[in-house]
Structure 1
Amino acid sequence: MRPYELIKAKRDGKKLAPEDIRALIEAYTAGTVPDYQMSAMCMAVFFRGLDPVELGAWARAMLESGEVLDLSDTPGVKVDKHSTGGVGDKVSVSLAPLAAACGVPVPMISGRGLGHTGGTVDKLLSIPGFRMDLPTSEYRRLVREVGCCLISQTAAIAPADRKLYALRDVTATVESLPLIASSIMSKKLAEGIDALVLDVKVGSGAFMKTVEDARRLARTMIEIGAQMGRKVTALLTDMDQPLGRTVGNALEIIEAVEMLRGRAPADYTEVTLALTAEMLVLGGKAASIVEARQRVQKVVADGTAVIKLKEIVAAQGGDPRAIDDYGLLPRTRSTTDVVAPRDGFVTAIDTEGVGLAAVALGAGRERVDSVIDPAVGFTLLRKVGEPVMAGEPVVRVHYNSPAPVMDVKTRLLAAYQFGPQAPAPRPLVVERLE
C-alpha cells in the first residue's frame, strides 16, 4: 500500500498489516517517505492507537531499522533496566554495578536528560575521563569481561526511532502511548539483552502523572517484550518528590556511590534495591526477590559493589580515584540556601518544578545544543513529611554563575508546599507488573 492509503486506513480506525508497517518504517528511515506524511501517520496513531499485532510490528520495524547488537558470546542472561525518567533519579549509576557484582551481565545504553528529567549519560560524564562513546566492539568486550558497560546511543542503533522522535517532538505526538512504548523498547532490545526491568515513574515529576497512565504504559511495553521473546518486569515507582537528596550530575554521582557504601537516603536505597532484585531474579541469580535482596545487600556490605563500580569506571577511561575522593569531581564555587517561610511540615513538592529549576541553573538542557554545568544542582535538606521551622534551610543551591540564582530560588520556593501536619507517607513501589 502507498503511504497515503496507510494513513487513510489508520485515520479511519482500520488495522494495518505488519508487512505494510515494516515497509513504511523502512521507507521513512531511508528518506523516501517525507516528514509530512509520517507526521500524519503519527497523528492518526495518536488518536486511533495500535492493536497488539500492529504494535509488535511497529516496534520490530524500528528495532530492525539499525544494528541489533549480538551478545551471545557473553554467558548468562543479559539484563538491563530502563527508567521512564524522573528528578534525582540516579538509580542506574548504582544499580548497574550492583547487578554486575552479583553476576548479572548488564549491557546498558543510556540517554541524556529529556525536558525536566536528568539523564544517566550526563551524570556519568561528570566523572573525569569517563567515556560513553565506545565502539560496539568495545561495548561487547566490556560486557563480557567486566560484566557491565554503559554507553550512549550510537547512530547505528534504532535510527528510525531517532528520526521519529524528533518528528513527534514538533508535531504534538510525543504523548502517544504506543509511540512511547515502541520508542523505548526498540532502543532497549537493540542492546542485546535477554530480559528487562522497567522503572515506570508516576507522579508530579514523571511523564506519567497518574497510576492508570503508568500502568497502561508498563503493560504496553511488557506486551512488546513478550512479542519479541524477552522477559519484562515493571515496577511503578513514586516520583511525587525527587528521589534521594540530590539533583544535579556530579552531586548525584556522589549519592550513587554513597548508596553502594550503604549510606544513601532510604527512598533512593529502597527503589534501587527493589529494581536490582528484579534483575537478579530475571537473570537467574536468585530464586526469589527475598533471596535477591539479600545478595544485593551482601555486595554492599562487603564492598564488592564499590569495587565493581571502580572497575567499570577504569575500563571506560574514567578516573576510579573519584569514587573515593569526591574532590576530584566537578564542584561549584558557591552555595546559597532556600529557607522555609513558616513553621510546619513539607506537605508536597512540585517535582517537575524542581527539575525545571535545575535546567534553569544549568544542570540540564533548555535546547539540544545547550552546554550543561556538571557541578551545579541542589541538595534537598527537607523532603515531604519532614518538619521545618521558619528561616530554616530547605534546599541548598550549588552554583557557579550568579545570574540565574534568584530565579532558581524563586522557582524552588514555589515548588515547596508547607502545612501544619505531615501528610501520610506514599509507597515507593506503587505496583509490580509482569
Structure 2
Amino acid sequence: MSSSFSAVEVIRTKRDGKVLSDAAIDWVIDAYTKGAVADEQMSALAMAILLRGMTAGEIARWTAAMIASGERLDLSAVERPTVDKHSTGGVGDKITLPLTPLVAACGAAVPQLSGRGLGHTGGTLDKLEAIPGFRTRLSNEEFVAQLSEVGAAICAAGEGLAPADRKLYALRDVTGTVEAIPLIASSIMSKKIAEGTAALILDVKFGSGAFMRDVEDARELARTMVALGTAHGVTTRALLTAMDTPLGLAIGHSVEVEETLEVLAGGGPPDVVELTLALAREMLDAAGLDADPEKALRDGRAMDSWRALVRAQDGDPDAALPVAPETEFVRAERDGFVAGIDAYGMGVAAWRLGAGRARKEDPVSASAGVVLHRRPGDRVAAGDVLCELRSQEKERIPAARELAVAAVTVADAAPEQGPLILETITDR
C-alpha cells in the first residue's frame, strides 16, 4: 500500500474545501477497507464531505474505488435482460415485494440485492423474513441460477460486493453523515453497479418520511446517481416520488407482506399499485421489453412469479404470517377530514412497536407495525378508527400511540392532494 498519502492529509484537504485527487481517493478507500485508516479518521472525512461536498469527478472516482474494493458479479449467463430497482427508503415502502415478481413475469430478470431497515424506514429483507422459512442469503452461484430459472431473486448483498461501502454505511449511521449526497449516491450506485445489472430504475423519495426531505436535495441526488450509472454503462433513470404520507395502509413486516399479496391478487391500495406499475413500466422499457405489467397483475402471472420466488428461497408461500397478540385502535376525536398523515411520525410509531431497530444488529418483530384505516382526504366521524397499532409487547403501545395520534391531522376540509410521482430524470 502506498505511503504517499496519510489519512490526516486527506481529511485536511476536504476540510479546507479542496478537491481530492483520484489517487488520494483510491488510497483512502483501499486503506479504509484494509483497516489502515481508522473509523474515527473516516468519520472525520465523512463529516468533511457532508459539510464541503464533492465535485462530480470526485463522486465518480469515489464510487469507482468502492466498486474496486470487492468483486463484481457476472450475470452474462442469464439469458433474460437484467434490470433492477432501488428505493432510497420510506415508510410503508414495500414496492420491491410486488414489483420484483411482476417485472420477472413480464420477461426480465430482476437481481434485487436489498438491505435491512434502520431507524424509521423498513427494510426489504426484514419484510421477507416474516415469511416462514424465507432465506435472504444466497451464494453468487445460487443467485445467478435463480435469476435464470425464476427470473427474480431478492437477497442480501454478498460479503465480497463493495466491502468498502459496507464499512462506511455502518459508520455514516452513527456519525450523523447519512444525509451527505455524495456518500448516499456512491453507496447506492457502487452496490448496484457491482451487482452486474444492465439497467437500473431509481425511486428517489422526498418528504417527511424520506432521508431527503427537500425536493431539490432529492433531485440533486437523483441526477447524481443517474450520471454515475450512465458513466458505468448501466442504463439508469430515476423517479422522484412523494413520501410525506406512508405508502399504502401497512407499515411493518408481516402486514406489508399481506398488502403485497393483495396487490399481486389484483387489488391493494391505489398508491401502491400506481407506483408499482409506474416503476414496472420504466424497468421493462429500460430492459427493452414490450410488455403490459397491468395485464400480468390481472391474469395471475405476477402472483405465480411471487410464489416461485418465495419457494426458490425456501419460503412457504401458503404459510400463515405472524400476527401480533397486542392491538390497540387510535380513533378520531372529532368529525372532519383526514388532512394529513405524517410519514415520519408513523414510521417512528412502528419502530416503537418493535418493527424497527436502533442499531443494525438489533432484532425486529415480524408482526409489529401500524395498519392505517384512513387515508388523507377521507371523511371521518368522532370515534372512527384512524389506525391500528400491533405489537408483541403491550408496554410498547403507549409511546407508539402518542406518536400515531400526533401523526394524524383531522381538519374541517379535505386537503389538496399532490402527485405521487413528481418527475422522471434520465441521462438524456
- Scaled by the length of structure 2, the TM-score of the pair is 0.96
2:332 is matched with: 340
2:173 is matched with: 169
Q: Secondary structure at the match of 2:116?
A: coil
2:366 is matched with: 374
Question: Which residue identity lines up with residue 311 of structure 1 in the other structure?
Answer: A
Please show how residues 265-276 of structure 1 align to structure 2 within 5 Å.
Answer: 265-276=269-280
CA RMSD between the two structures: 1.3
1:364 is matched with: 356
Task: State the shift of 1:157 in Å.
Answer: 1.4
Task: State the shift of 1:114 in Å.
Answer: 1.7
Please show how residues 405-416 of structure 1 align to structure 2 within 5 Å.
Answer: 405-416=397-408
Question: Which residue identity lines up with residue 411 of structure 1 in the other structure?
Answer: L
Matched, 1:64 2:61: no
User: Of residues 294, 297, 322 in structure 1, which corresponds to 2:294?
Assistant: 297
Q: Give the 3 Å change call, closer, same or farther, for CA 310–21 of structure 1 in structure 2.
A: same
Q: Secondary structure at the match of 2:84?
A: strand
Q: Secondary structure at the match of 2:283?
A: helix
1:237 is matched with: 241
Question: Which residue identity lines up with residue 70 of structure 2 in the other structure?
Answer: G
Task: State the shift of 1:262 in Å.
Answer: 1.2
For 1:65 and 1:297, how far apart are their aligned partners in 2? Answer: 40
User: Of residues 325, 330, 339 in structure 1, which corresponds to 2:322?
Assistant: 330
Contact 2:251 2:371 in 1 (8 A): yes
Partner deviation per Cα, 1:241-290 (whole Å, 9 max, x = no partner): 1101111101110111110111101011001110111000001102xxxx
Question: Which residue identity lines up with residue 199 of structure 2 in the other structure?
Answer: A
Contact 2:354 2:392 in 1 (8 A): no
Question: Which residue identity lines up with residue 29 of structure 1 in the other structure?
Answer: T
User: Of residues 356, 380, 391 in structure 1, which corresponds to 2:383?
Assistant: 391
Once the two structures are aligned, what percentage of the paired residues are identical?
50
For 2:146 and 2:238, how far apart are their aligned partners in 1? Answer: 27
Contact 1:335 1:396 in 2 (8 A): yes
Task: State the shift of 1:211 in Å.
Answer: 1.1
Q: Secondary structure at the match of 2:155?
A: strand
Task: State the shift of 1:349 in Å.
Answer: 1.5
1:124 is matched with: 128
Question: Which residue identity lines up with residue 140 of structure 2 in the other structure?
Answer: T
For 2:18 and 2:368, how far apart are their aligned partners in 1? Answer: 50
For 2:261 and 2:38, how far apart are their aligned partners in 1? Answer: 47
Matched, 1:313 2:337: no
Contact 2:324 2:392 in 1 (8 A): yes
Q: Secondary structure at the match of 2:386?
A: strand
Task: State the shift of 1:365 in Å.
Answer: 1.1
For 2:311 and 2:229, how far apart are their aligned partners in 1? Answer: 33
User: Of residues 330, 342, 346 in structure 2, which corresponds to 1:350?
Assistant: 342
2:414 is matched with: 422
For 2:141 and 2:346, how far apart are their aligned partners in 1? Answer: 39
Contact 1:205 1:351 in 2 (8 A): yes
Question: Which residue identity lines up with residue 32 of structure 1 in the other structure?
Answer: A
For 2:345 and 2:227, how far apart are their aligned partners in 1? Answer: 33
Contact 1:76 1:283 in 2 (8 A): no
Partner deviation per Cα, 1:191-238 (whole Å, 9 max, x = no partner): 111111000111111111121111011011111112211111100111
Deviates more, 1:359-368 or 1:7-16: 7-16
Contact 2:71 2:162 in 1 (8 A): yes
Contact 2:92 2:249 in 1 (8 A): yes
For 1:12 and 1:371, how far apart are their aligned partners in 2? Answer: 41
1:186 is matched with: 190
Contact 2:85 2:200 in 1 (8 A): yes
Task: State the shift of 1:6 in Å.
Answer: 2.6
For 1:192 and 1:5, how far apart are their aligned partners in 2? Answer: 34
Task: State the shift of 1:71 in Å.
Answer: 0.5
For 1:35 and 1:399, how far apart are their aligned partners in 2? Answer: 36
Task: State the shift of 1:158 in Å.
Answer: 1.2
For 1:254 and 1:180, how far apart are their aligned partners in 2? Answer: 30
Question: Which residue identity lines up with residue 268 of structure 2 in the other structure?
Answer: A
Question: Which residue identity lines up with residue 356 of structure 2 in the other structure?
Answer: G
Q: Secondary structure at the match of 1:341?
A: coil
User: Of residues 5, 14, 39 in structure 2, which corresponds to 1:2?
Assistant: 5
- Runs of at least 5 residues in structure 1 that lack an aligned partner in the other structure: 287-291, 323-327
Question: Which residue identity lines up with residue 321 of structure 1 in the other structure?
Answer: D
For 1:59 and 1:396, how far apart are their aligned partners in 2? Answer: 42
Contact 2:329 2:388 in 1 (8 A): yes
2:113 is matched with: 109
1:134 is matched with: 138
Partner deviation per Cα, 1:102-154 (whole Å, 9 max, x = no partner): 01110011010021000100110111111011111101110111111111122
Question: Which residue identity lines up with residue 172 of structure 2 in the other structure?
Answer: R
Deviates more, 1:398-407 or 1:111-120: 398-407
For 2:225 and 2:136, how far apart are their aligned partners in 1? Answer: 26
For 1:257 and 1:184, how far apart are their aligned partners in 2? Answer: 28
Question: Which residue identity lines up with residue 180 of structure 2 in the other structure?
Answer: S
Structure 1 segments of 4+ aligned residues over 3 angstroms from their partners: none
2:42 is matched with: 38
Partner deviation per Cα, 1:148-204 (whole Å, 9 max, x = no partner): 111112222111011112222233222111011101111111211111100011111
1:325 is matched with: none
Question: Which residue identity lines up with residue 359 of structure 2 in the other structure?
Answer: R
For 1:210 and 1:281, how far apart are their aligned partners in 2? Answer: 29
2:22 is matched with: 18
1:289 is matched with: none
Q: Give the 3 Å change call, closer, same or farther, for CA 406–37 of structure 1 in structure 2.
A: closer
Question: Which residue identity lines up with residue 268 of structure 1 in the other structure?
Answer: V
For 1:117 and 1:334, how far apart are their aligned partners in 2? Answer: 22
Contact 1:202 1:210 in 2 (8 A): yes
Question: Which residue identity lines up with residue 2 of structure 1 in the other structure?
Answer: F
For 1:366 and 1:259, how far apart are their aligned partners in 2? Answer: 30
User: Of residues 90, 93, 111 in structure 2, which corresponds to 1:86?
Assistant: 90
Contact 2:69 2:164 in 1 (8 A): yes
Q: Give the 3 Å change call, closer, same or farther, for CA 127–343 of structure 1 in structure 2.
A: same
Please show how residues 205-244 of structure 1 align to structure 2 within 5 Å.
Answer: 205-244=209-248
